[in-house]
Chain A
Amino acid sequence: MYWFEENAAHPVVLSTRVRLARNLSGTPFPDRLTPAGKKAVCDRLEAVYPSYRRSDFSKLSPTERRAYAECHLCSPEFAQKVPEGKSLLVSEDQTVSVMVNEEDHVRIQAIRGGYCPQEAFDRATEADSQLLQREKPAFHERFGFLTSCPTNLGCAMRLSVMLHLPALQLSGKMPSVMALANQRGCTLRGAFGEGSKAEADLFQLSNASSCEGPESKILQTLSALAEQVIEAEQRERDKLCRSELISDKLWRALGTMRYARSVSYEEYRQLWSLVRMGVACGLYTEPALAKLDRALIELMPARLCLTELSAEDALKRDRLRADKMRSMTDRKSVV
């Protein structure tokens, strides 16, 4: 089950993920590998994870690759750049994915719905042990695990929590929250799309450096900060919901979601964010949080194209998105 299908229904956190970067000892990093060398790395990794489903990225269409990035099973860069010699391995339960030949030979990622740093860390560690049992990693006593980019050195772990922060965004408090994150050695940036612009008010909070190591310390620091941000968001939501102007905005968003006949991805993201906030604040009960979280990913352009052939055309896709959006609001009388 994918993370967005888990019915985690956390009011602020959509997902928690842990990513580990590893390289195989005795083999140049992917940037310096020939196509045959990359293929050999793919084969070795496949042998490490025999039960994982392997997708050869050079054989996938751009839409299929993008769909993987949309559900956060791989990075957008991994999906966009030259696909030759890259493959993605996904565990049977779909919680662990392994990117082969991204910037490093191996990027292990464990992702779970809701807020669960420890659980995600345990899953990633399990997959890591599986790798270390069979392959000798590139490791240095002084630097830790060696990575292609020196900013990832050390335990080469990144813990990220995806947060929905519409209230902090509406009240203009994001810059100060971002400054606080920086102070604590963490970064807070938009979870989807490029740059710092946050689509659907979704932000990714992650540790900035892993050079010192102790994974437990990263877990601790980031969890403490994440909990603080969650609290701040909820306080702000309580305040904003009492404002007539904001509650009107939230109700109107629900209205559009119920009755629109065509909706672009951009508009959908805005509606989604407001409706999710409305539900989390208790203004209305439908659609449930779990349903919304699932629909966020499922109505993204590439995912939609894959599930419905007719969605290849942008206009048809907008209509289809609106159909699905309306059915989510669960009013059988309105179709």
Chain B
Amino acid sequence: MLHQNLCDRCHEREATIVYRKNVNGYETEEKLCPICAKQAGWMPAFQPEDPFEELNELFSGLFMKDNRTLQGASRCPGCGLSLSEIKAQGRFGCENCYSFFENRIDWTPFTSRSGYQGKRPEPSAKTPPEQETPEQKLAGLKKQLADAVKAEQYEQAAALRDQIRALEKKDEQKEE
């Protein structure tokens, strides 16, 4: 039910690179995360600019100790649950889980094709997030990320980084 696009080697991080090999007509395909790709000694011919490379490096240093690189990034910053734990229990731990794992779950069984049309709570006095433009939201998140790194709150930083990535991806898709 829950969908994960995980790295074929570490099975922990999200796979972002597809490694295709053709040896004597046999084609093999491996989906890897940037870190495993690097460790495998494979570098892409064209390396897209990664604004989080520095942050990734920082994490790999931090979490290497228990051999679970980037552990922080795979856990919800609100309650600390991982996707596999949520999957096992069939329950989410807090409201943040939903946005944190939004892109890694197949929502078809739980959402309607026509979108949510029921009751909405009345907007509170604070600025509701839906009034922000995507650019404003992105800028806000980037600022929060910088603050989090400064405050050494790496779990939160990783979560923010993922949110920024997701937003940027959305923007790209729109432009296409």
Contacts and interface: CB of A to CB of B under 8 A. Distances in A.
B98 A143 contact: yes
B108 to A, nearest CB: 10
Contacts of B146: none
Contacts, number: 95
A212 B117 CA distance: 6
A25 B91 contact: no
A27 B96 CA distance: 10
A97 to B, nearest CB: 20
B119 interface: yes
B119 A29 contact: no
Contacts of A23: 95
B116 A211 contact: yes
Interface string A161-190: 000000000000000000000000000000
B112 A211 contact: yes
A215 B111 contact: no
**Prevailing SS type, chain B contact patch:** loop
Nearest to A138: B95
A335 to B, nearest CB: 53
A289 B81 CA distance: 51
A151 B107 CA distance: 10
A73 interface: no
A48 to B, nearest CB: 14
A213 B119 contact: yes
Nearest to B111: A211
Size bracket of the B interface: 20 to 34
A213 B111 contact: no
Contact of B95 (A140, A154, A212, A215): A140
Contacts of A98: none
A146 B99 CA distance: 11
Interface in B76-102: 78-81, 89-95, 98-99, 102
A319 B124 CA distance: 58
A148 B112 contact: no
B92 A29 contact: yes
A68 interface: no
Contacts of B117: 212-214
Contact of A28 (B78, B89, B110): B78
Contacts of A153: 110-111
B110 to A, nearest CB: 4
Interface residues of A, number: 36
**Most chain A beta-carbon neighbours within 10 Å: one of B89, B111, B121:** B121
A132 B110 CA distance: 24
B120 interface: yes
A136 B124 contact: yes
A132 B118 contact: no
A213 B112 CA distance: 9
A210 interface: yes
Contacts of B89: 31
B119 A140 contact: no
A193 interface: no
B92 A150 contact: yes
A146 to B, nearest CB: 5
Contact of A148 (B91, B120, B122, B130): B91
Given A136-B124, A154-B116, A214-B117, A29 B94 contact: yes
Interface of A: 23, 25-29, 31-32, 103, 132, 136-151, 153-155, 157, 210-215
13 contacts: A27-B94, A29-B91, A103-B91, A132-B121, A138-B94, A139-B120, A148-B91, A150-B107, A150-B109, A211-B110, A211-B112, A213-B118, A215-B118
Closest 9 CB pairs of A and B: A213-B118, A155-B118, A212-B112, A138-B95, A28-B94, A213-B117, A32-B93, A150-B110, A144-B116
